[in-house]
């Protein structure tokens, strides 16, 4: 039986610190500081949105390869590499004086972030007894949403009170401390040997042939992408432009959204277990909530709804995303156990591609209405509501197939049914 030593606990603390920081860096740009960056660089909405696009595309590509790489090289090595790239990207981002360097910083950060999650899962599997796995993973998910919460009102406060550059330099410093701590564990721990077996293409082909899983990927991607697009790219700016609320009010709504997903993520597995490990009611419920939120947002824009209506729509959206753990469980149960890491990684890949698509569409639509936008004395650009209406209608069209496919999905009851799928 594996023993939990002081070094193991210290290793876990440093890994959780790295993961929390990566979540903060991922979620905070450009969403929480969209207007700050647009003003500082005198850039278009498309340029600022591209910071989200380049990050998520690189992050998504990582998801396709990181599973087999962690199996081959071990989680420790890849976590050190990923955290190092993230640190370099964060420093470059904070020191950038032009847009190309700003984008380069986000590309490096996205590449590094993509290594971190599965590397930590691999390490936790290796160093902790199996009976502690679920409990430790709960702490990992807690760090995800702690980072997301820090990327809302707290990040806005520090960026506005000091400067966004100084704030991200401090974040880089904190990340460096956690990385240094993990390096101590890295050199004091016996590292797993590098496996000699090559990474095989046939594993990827097996996933592509699983039509039921591909349909589930679409649903999983929509659910993940809508919320992260709102939280990390457009949500705060949308509220400021459409409702004329303050930056602090908009950030507060996004913070509450993160808190909703945090609580729901902690409880949803237990609720599913209590209902006989049923999955389908939750994924159908997720699709219904995402549909309701898109309809509310569209109606709010059309009929000049109050601030609380848009906030409520975002809360409903966050509640829909809170079921994402069930999608992950179903993906695992739709594939042979030996393909679990790759199958889950491929699902995250699809979700991040959708985020990139939504970010591109948002930048394009906002720039199409640039001539109708109003420029404040502070230099902040406010875009007209109809630009956002077109965006939510586009997302609504993508949610409708999600609802149909969730309704048609096969229930697993917590069992692996890969052999039963056609």
How does pLDDT run across 380-405, given as a tens digit for each residue? 778 899 999 999 999 999 999 999 99
In CATH terms, 202-422 corresponds, of 3.40.50.720, 1.20.1250.20, 1.10.1030.10, 3.40.640.10, to: 1.20.1250.20
Residue 407 vs residue 353, higher pLDDT: 407
230: CB partners within 8 A, 6+ apart = 31, 238, 254, 257, 314, 317
Residue 373 vs residue 357, higher pLDDT: 357
Q: What band does 317 get if pLDDT is binned at 50, 70 and 90?
A: very high
Residue 268 vs residue 315, higher pLDDT: 315
Is the pLDDT confidence value at 68 over 60?
A: yes
pLDDT confidence of residue 134:
55
Tell me the CA end-to-end span of the chain in Å, nearest whole number: 40
Helix then strand then coil, % of the chain, to nearest 5: 80, 0, 15
**For the residues 43-72, what does the mean pLDDT come to?**
84
Burial class (CB in 10 A: 0-12, 13-18, 19+), 266: middle
Domain-wise residue ranges, the chain: 1-190, 202-422
209: CB partners within 8 A, 6+ apart = none
The first and second tokens of residue 275, run together, are 């209902």
* Percent over 70 (pLDDT), the chain: 95
Calpha distance 152→248 (Å, rounded): 9
Domain pair 1-190 / 202-422, same fold = yes
The first and second tokens of residue 332, run together, are 């695992």
Is the pLDDT confidence value at 288 over 90?
A: yes
**For the residues 302-331, what does the mean pLDDT come to?**
91
| Residues 58, 114 contacting (CB under 8 angstroms) | yes
pLDDT confidence of residue 108:
96
DSSP 377: T
The listed range with the strongest mean pLDDT (180-184, 189-193, 232-236, 370-374) is 180-184
pLDDT confidence of residue 135:
65
Max CA-CA distance within the chain?
Answer: 67
277: left (phi over 0), alpha (psi -120 to 50) or beta: left
* Predicted TM-score of the model (pTM): 0.78
Calpha distance 352→261 (Å, rounded): 18
Q: What band does 265 get if pLDDT is binned at 50, 70 and 90?
A: confident
* DSSP state letters, 305-335: --HHHHHHHHHHHHHHHTTHHHHHHHHHHTS
Residue 125 vs residue 148, higher pLDDT: 148
149: CB partners within 8 A, 6+ apart = 255, 258, 259, 262
Calpha distance 220→405 (Å, rounded): 11
**For the residues 103-122, what does the mean pLDDT come to?**
90
Q: What is 1-190's CATH number?
A: 1.20.1250.20
pLDDT confidence of residue 179:
96
Beta-bridge partners for 375: 381
Which residue is it, tokens 């998520």? 56
pLDDT confidence of residue 193:
79
Residue 274 vs residue 202, higher pLDDT: 274
Q: What band does 6 get if pLDDT is binned at 50, 70 and 90?
A: confident
Beta-bridge partners for 382: 374
The first and second tokens of residue 300, run together, are 């709010």
The first and second tokens of residue 41, run together, are 């660089």
pLDDT confidence of residue 393:
92
Q: Give me the helix-helix angle, 164-188 and 153-161, nearest 10°.
A: 120
pLDDT confidence of residue 341:
67
Residue 137 vs residue 417, higher pLDDT: 417
pLDDT confidence of residue 8:
82
* Percent over 90 (pLDDT), the chain: 40
List, for residues 247-256, the tens digit of each pLDDT value.
Answer: 889 989 988 9
pLDDT confidence of residue 180:
96
pLDDT confidence of residue 133:
59
How high does pLDDT run on average in the chain? 86
């Amino acid at each position: 039986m594996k023993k939990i030593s002081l070094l193991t606990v210290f290793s876990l603390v440093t890994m959780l610190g790295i993961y929390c920081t990566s979540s903060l860096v991922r979620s905070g740009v450009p969403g929480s500081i969209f207007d700050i960056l647009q003003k500082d660089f005198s850039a278009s909405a498309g340029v600022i949105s591209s910071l989200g696009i380049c990050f998520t595309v690189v992050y998504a590509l990582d998801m396709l390869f990181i599973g087999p790489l962690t199996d081959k090289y071990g989680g420790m090595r890849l976590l050190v590499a990923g955290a190092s790239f993230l640190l370099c990207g964060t420093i470059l981002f904070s020191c950038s004086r032009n847009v190309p360097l700003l984008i380069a910083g986000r590309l490096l950060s996205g590449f590094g972030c993509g290594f971190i999650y599965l590397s930590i899962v691999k390490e936790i599997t290796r160093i902790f007894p199996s009976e502690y796995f679920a409990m430790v993973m709960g702490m990992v998910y807690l760090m995800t949403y702690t980072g997301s919460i820090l990327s809302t009102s707290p990040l806005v406060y520090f960026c506005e009170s000091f400067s966004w550059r100084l704030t991200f330099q401090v974040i880089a410093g904190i990340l460096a401390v956690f990385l240094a701590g993990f390096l101590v564990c890295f050199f004091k721990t016996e590292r797993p040997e590098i496996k000699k077996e090559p990474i095989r293409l046939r594993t990827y082909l097996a996933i592509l042939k699983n039509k039921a899983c591909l349909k589930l990927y679409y649903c999983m991607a929509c659910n993940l992408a809508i919320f992260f697009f709102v939280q990390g790219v457009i949500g705060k700016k949308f509220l400021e432009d459409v409702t004329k609320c303050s930056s602090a009010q908009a950030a507060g709504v996004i913070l509450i959204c993160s808190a909703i997903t945090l609580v729901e993520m902690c409880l949803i597995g237990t609720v599913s277990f209590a209902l006989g490990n049923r999955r389908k009611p939750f994924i159908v419920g997720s699709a219904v909530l995402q549909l309701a939120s898109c309809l509310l947002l569209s109606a709010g824009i059309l009929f000049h709804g109050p601030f609380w209506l848009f906030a409520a729509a975002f809360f409903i959206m966050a509640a829909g995303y809170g079921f994402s753990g069930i999608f992950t469980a179903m993906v695992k149960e739709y594939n042979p156990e030996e393909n679990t890491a790759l199958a889950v990684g491929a699902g995250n890949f699809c979700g991040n591609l959708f985020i990139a698509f939504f970010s591109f569409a948002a930048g394009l639509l906002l720039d199409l209405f640039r001539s109708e936008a109003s420029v404040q004395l502070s230099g902040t650009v406010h875009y007209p509501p109809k630009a956002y209406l077109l965006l939510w209608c586009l997302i609504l069209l993508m949610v409708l197939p999600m609802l149909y496919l969730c309704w048609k999905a096969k229930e697993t009851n917590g069992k692996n049914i890969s052999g039963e799928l056609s």
